[in-house]
Amino acid sequence: MLLEIPILLCLANAALIQAATASLSLNSILSLNFQDLPSPPSFSLPVSPNLTITVAYCSSATVSTRFFVTNNSFVDNPGPDGGEDVFEITVDQGLGTFSAVFLEGGVLAIDGASSDDFSFEIGASDSGPMHEVLAVFPLLGDTTSNQALLFSPPFDPPVFSDPSYPNYTLPGPSLSPPSPPDSSPNFTLLLAPTSPQSLTALPQTACMMSSQTSSGNIANESLWLRDEEGWRTQWIMAGLSPQTNYTAYVIQDSTKLSGPMYFVTKSAVFACPLAAFLPYCPGVTYAIPLPSPDNSDLSIYDSTNLPSAISDTLTAYFTNFTTTLTTQACGRDYYSPLQTCADCQRAYFRWLCSVSFPRCGEQSPSTTTTTSATSSPTPTTDTTTIPSPTSALQPQTSSSVPRNPAFTSLNMSYSVLLPCIETCQAADRACPNFLGFACPLARFNANESYGVGYIDGAEPDGQGLGVPGQAQDRWGNVWCNFV
């Protein structure tokens, strides 16, 4: 017993000399530069039963820097020599994440050398990582030859409260958009032409991407409730180059990164303008076959300049459909254990929007590259490559009968990207039989009016088994129109 006292004193002395001079407080971020690190280069960590420490590089690291942590209060200087409860935070693509129990706090120490201007951030939190690469990617609405309509990842999904019997009142077509939530994440968008030494080669962190300059210019930025996934920041980007593959990232609150996502602008001859801001068809955020609007700053169609013949017909269909649907004793007589009249109405509205607003499209350049690659003289031994499917495009000439008669002729040839048949099947499934809603069958001529086999496979239970299993991907391919 007597012997232990001097040892403890000794340790206490060592701690006084060596202890970290700087500290990292809970739920905060420190921005650091290698040249002004404290001496010793270590930070005391807060007490938490569930602490997540993150390291994010804000510039490209040239020399290897390593990060060590300990939750053992008897270790002052965790390092490569290890020891009890000494852990290394492994940094991959500029981001390192470490979680553990820190009942007595701990120490984070930086080991190794780096260039003086190497900058990075460290964060400590008791509610998940402060720095993060989000699992959800930005979403492409559509492009023209020089514009792109892009969305952030969603937040705040809407809560549908279905009406109930006997006052089963369904909403009419929305004539104005719902009011946005009071607070939203701060999303910023970053774009650059895709190239091998581009953004993807940098540390994949929010602070690194925030320091890069974006291509194009933001013509409009607003919040939009596009679908039941929730609100998104919607950007209309202008000033882009035709037929160019762009890389896009979305930065959330300066700490989280979503991406990379890719998209391709249309060729210079593509004439269809974008449509957006249509409250009755919130998912219509794509190019439509109408002449360029001449009364719009953004060169897009929105609810203020869309020809009223289109919107009036659509809202009349909406209203008539709702009237017919509610002749059923909605909320009292159940036609399905899974679906309600409100579900039917939502699915029908989506389908009606997708068929009422034809979408202009073009074959993705990557598809053409695949075709020319197969015909190249270089023999390919890779037999596992499945050729990418071609998009559901249907050529229209200036004399073709427009798919929606309310659309005046565009007076030039273009291609329509057909709606995905799953939009139709969803309405068929959700609605009562007496409405007589039916979709064409894949084994007959469904592919003349719909994109068939992309999301779901042909079998009755082929849900998600189509090729490629989705309407579009994050590499810039778009196969059919899913509103």
Minimum CB separation of residue 353 from ligand NAG in Å reads: 15
What is the rounded CA–CA span in Å between residue 45 and residue 85?
14
Q: Which stretch binds ligand NAG (CB under 6 A): 15-23, 176-184, 218-226, 327-335?
A: 218-226
Q: Residue 22 or 218: which CB sits closer to ligand NAG?
A: 218
Minimum CB separation of residue 289 from ligand NAG in Å reads: 13
Please state the φ and ψ torsions of residue 133, each to the nearest 5 degrees. Answer: -100, 115
Q: Residue 65 or 108: which CB sits closer to ligand NAG?
A: 108
String marking each residue 65-84 x if it binds ligand NAG according to CB under 6 A: ------x-------------
Interface with ligand NAG includes 128 (CB under 6 A)?
yes
368-407 positions binding ligand NAG, by CB under 6 A: none
Minimum CB separation of residue 5 from ligand NAG in Å reads: 23
SS (H, E, C) 102-127: EECEEEEEEEECCCCCCEEEEEEECC
Interface with ligand NAG includes 212 (CB under 6 A)?
no
Q: Residue 128 or 405: which CB sits closer to ligand NAG?
A: 128
Q: Which of 11, 14, 63, 103 contacts ligand NAG by CB under 6 A?
A: 103
What is the rounded CA–CA span in Å between residue 230 and residue 12?
54
Minimum CB separation of residue 185 from ligand NAG in Å reads: 9
Strand order in the sheet with 256-264: 132-133, 256-264, 245-252, 187-193
String marking each residue 30-49 x if it binds ligand NAG according to CB under 6 A: --------------------
Total residues binding ligand NAG (CB under 6 A): 39
Interface with ligand NAG includes 213 (CB under 6 A)?
no
- The answer to whether 15 touches 64, Cβ cutoff 8 Å, is no
Q: Which of 407, 447, 462, 469 contacts ligand NAG by CB under 6 A?
A: 447
Q: Which stretch binds ligand NAG (CB under 6 A): 13-21, 27-35, 175-183, 358-366?
A: 358-366
Minimum CB separation of residue 447 from ligand NAG in Å reads: 4
Interface with ligand NAG includes 92 (CB under 6 A)?
no
Q: Which stretch binds ligand NAG (CB under 6 A): 6-14, 32-40, 102-110, 347-355?
A: 102-110
Q: Which of 43, 155, 224, 262 contacts ligand NAG by CB under 6 A?
A: 262
Interface with ligand NAG includes 473 (CB under 6 A)?
no
Interface with ligand NAG includes 127 (CB under 6 A)?
yes
Interface with ligand NAG includes 245 (CB under 6 A)?
yes
Q: What residue type is assigned to position 229 of the chain? A: E
Q: What residue type is assigned to position 144 of the chain? A: T
Q: Which of 28, 35, 222, 267 contacts ligand NAG by CB under 6 A?
A: 222
Interface with ligand NAG includes 327 (CB under 6 A)?
no
Q: Residue 264 or 439: which CB sits closer to ligand NAG?
A: 264
Please state the φ and ψ torsions of residue 452, each to the nearest 5 degrees. Answer: -115, 135
Minimum CB separation of residue 458 from ligand NAG in Å reads: 9
Interface with ligand NAG includes 317 (CB under 6 A)?
yes
Interface with ligand NAG includes 448 (CB under 6 A)?
yes
* Token digits of residue 304: 């203020």
User: Can you give the binding site for ligand NAG, defined by CB under 6 A?
Assistant: 50, 71, 85, 100-104, 127-128, 163, 167, 169, 186, 188, 194, 210, 220-222, 245, 254, 262, 264, 277, 302, 313, 316-317, 320, 364-366, 411, 447-448, 475-477
